[in-house]
Amino acid sequence: MNKTLWDLIFPVRRKPKPLRVEQKLPEKKKSQPGSMQERYEQMTRQMLKRYGVRVRKWRSSSSGLAWEVRYKDGSITRLIESPRPCGPMSAAIFLHEIGHHSIGFKRYRPRCLEEYHAWVFAMEQMAAWDLNITDRVHKRMHDSLQYAVDKAQRRGLKQVPGELEIYLRTNQSIS
C-alpha cells in the first residue's frame, strides 16, 4: 500500500473493536418505586404539566429563573431555568420557580412580596409532596427574602409589607 504525505500527517484511525459480551456497558440505574428519586421525578413531571411550564435549561448551580413570553396572538409560553430536583435544596428552588407561574407575575407589588409568595408556594408544595424541608432550605428561603427586601429598600422602597418585616436587617453598630 502506497502512503502519501497526508497519510503521515493524518494517520488512518482504526475502528474501535466491538464490545465482547462480557464487556457490556453498565445499565442506567432505574429508581426504585417509592424511592426519593422517583418522588422527585414524579413531582417534577406533574408540576410542569399542571402549570404548563417548560424547562429551558436544567442548571448545575443552585439558582433559578422564571419568565413568560407573550405573543401577539395572545398565547403565552411559560419557562424556567432551575436545578433538576434531586434533593431538598434543588426541589425547593425548582418549586420556587414554579411558584412564580402559579401565583402569576406582577400580581404582588413590590417585587419582594412576589418572591415571598413564591417561597410560600414552594414550602407548601414540599410539605404536600412529603419532601424533606431541611434547615438549609429554611436558611436559603430566609437569606433570599432578606436579600429581596434589602434590594427593594436600596431601590427606594419606603414601606416594607408586614409579611416581610421579619426579613429586615437590623442596623446595629458594634461599640
> What pLDDT, in 10s, does the model give residues 85-121?
999 999 999 999 999 999 999 999 999 999 999 999 9
Q: From 112, 113, 133, 110, select the one nearest 123 (Cα to Cα).
A: 133
Q: Is the pLDDT of residue 154 over 60?
A: yes
Residue 98 within any structural domain of the chain = yes
In-domain check, residue 10 = no
21 has a pLDDT exceeding 60? no
Residue 57: strand, helix, or coil: strand
pLDDT at 174: 43
What is the total count of domains within the chain?
Answer: 1
Decide if 23 is inside a domain.
no
- Record the pTM: 0.79
Classify 91 as helix, strand or coil. helix
pLDDT the model gives residue 116:
98
Q: What is the pLDDT of residue 143?
A: 97
Which residues does 108 contact at the CB level (< 8 Å), separation at least 6?
114, 116, 117
Lowest mean pLDDT among 10-14, 117-121, 135-139: 10-14
The boundaries of the domain holding residue 62 are 35-156
What is the pLDDT averaged over residues 19-30? Answer: 54
- CA triplet 88, 89, 91: central angle to 5 degrees? 65
At 26, the pLDDT band (50, 70, 90 cuts) reads low
Residue 72 lies in a domain: yes
Does the structure show a pLDDT above 80 at 49?
yes
Residue 20 resides in a domain: no
**Residue 3 pLDDT greater than 80, yes or no:** no
What is the number of alpha carbons within 13 Å of residue 172 lying toward its C-beta?
A: 5
In a domain, 13, yes or no: no
Amino acid at the residue 49: K
Listed residue (118, 128, 65, 63) closest to 95, CA to CA: 118
Judge whether residue 130 has pLDDT over 80: yes
Cell of 170: 437590623
141 in Cβ contact with 123 (< 8 Å)? yes
In a domain, 96, yes or no: yes
Mean pLDDT of the chain: 88
**For residue 20, what pLDDT is reported?**
57
**SS3 of 173, please?**
coil
Inside any domain, residue 125: yes
